[in-house]
Amino acid sequence: MMEFVDASLRALGWAPPWAVSLIVLGVAAVVGLTAHAVAEKVAARVVRGRDEFWRSLVARIAKPSRLAFLIVFLGVGAGLAPLTPGQKDLLGHSLLIGFIAFLGWAALTALDIAASLYMRRFRIDEADNLVARKHLTQVRILQRACATLIVVLTLAFALMTISSVRQWGVSLLAAGGAAGIIVGLALQPLLTNLIAGLQIAMTQPIRIDDAVIVEGEWGRVEEITGTYVVVKLWDWRRMVLPLSYFIQTPFQNWTRESASLIGTAMLYVDYSAPVNVLRAKLEEIARASKLWDGQVVNLAVTDVQERVMQIRCLVSASDAGRAFDLRCEVREKMMDFLQAEHPGALPRTRLDMPLGAT
């Protein structure tokens, strides 16, 4: 093989060294891409009858492995090409950075495959999806934290191969002083949110698709990134909050342990309102509604004010959205019932006039 290469280089003796180097490197790149295509087809045939993990792995590492083949064959070509020592050092350094980038790319690909395959065991679109949301939240937060760490380490190793940048970094860390304080203050929000993300992944005060009340607004957790949380509000607006908000600020989570909720509908009626009749009507409305989950239905007088009597209607539903709709349905039908059957039970103002008054 080496004799063939030497003969080929001698045949190119008529060309200047730079042209020979370009030809050799070009041939090395073509051979590398060809070898990658052959290896990709062979790998696809080997895993064709195997499980989904291996098929996904082969499909996803196609691009990173192409970079690896190019680096290897260009490295071989650089050793054969008539390059000057300076050119060989520059090309070797570039290939080293490319190899570091390949390792980071491969690590990110492997991380994404592992997270995707793990989450396929859970279904988020089911009614009782508490376990699925728990695992989805943990996987997404940890995946983004690990991805950030991989990117930072890849950049760090790549920059450490450049002597000028490496010396600058060492001198900056050694000097400390004002520059170190400025860098520390600049990174404090990022580090705070990254640590908060790890806390949320472990303790899970919120999960994907949780119903929450934040800043006086009701919504659902739509996305959790490495630094912020996106809450989709009831009117489709998006509220973006830092991760640290959910560690440092009190908020309401309506689906922390279960999606089921008890909804409240308040009625204000006259003292003469028939409470037992209203209680029976509430049970009738709940049993006829598709929104009621069959668990809780109750009516009680919770307060007596100067002019009205306060009645609280409790009904339960399988999730926050159904509970809200059921509360509205109870209010509407209870008011229709009062207006049609017991209009005297509606709030009214009494006037007591003495006898003989005109």
Is pLDDT of 54 > 50? Answer: yes
* Percent of the chain topping pLDDT 70: 71
What domains are defined for the chain? 2-121 (no CATH), 160-258 (2.30.30.60), 261-345 (3.30.70.100)
Q: What is the pLDDT of residues 163-219, one digit of tens each?
A: 765 655 444 444 444 444 444 444 556 566 667 777 777 777 888 888 888 998 888
pLDDT tens-digit series, residues 270-310: 999 999 999 999 999 999 999 999 899 999 999 998 889 99
CA distances from 102 to 149, 152, 295, 329, 351 (A): 15, 14, 57, 59, 87
Average of per-residue pLDDT values in the chain: 76
DSSP classification of residue 345: G
Q: Is the pLDDT of residue 355 over 90?
A: no
Report the candidate in 110, 111, 39, 25 with the shortest Cα–Cα distance to residue 71: 25
Assess whether pLDDT exceeds 60 at residue 29.
yes
Question: Which position has the higher pLDDT, 318 or 300?
Answer: 300
**From the centroid of its chain, how far is CA 29?**
39
Beta bridge partners of 299: 313
Burial string for 119-145 (b: 16+ CB within 10 Å, else e) reads beeeeeeeeebeebbebbbbbbbbbbb
Q: Are 197 and 241 in contact (CB under 8 A)?
A: no
Q: Kindly report the backbone phi and psi dihedral angles of residue 256, in degrees, each rounded to the nearest multiple of 5, phi listed first.
A: -65, -50
Q: What is the pLDDT of residue 18?
A: 52
Lowest mean pLDDT among 4-18, 55-69, 279-293, 335-349: 4-18
Q: Is 302 helix (H, G, I), strand (E, B) or coil?
A: strand
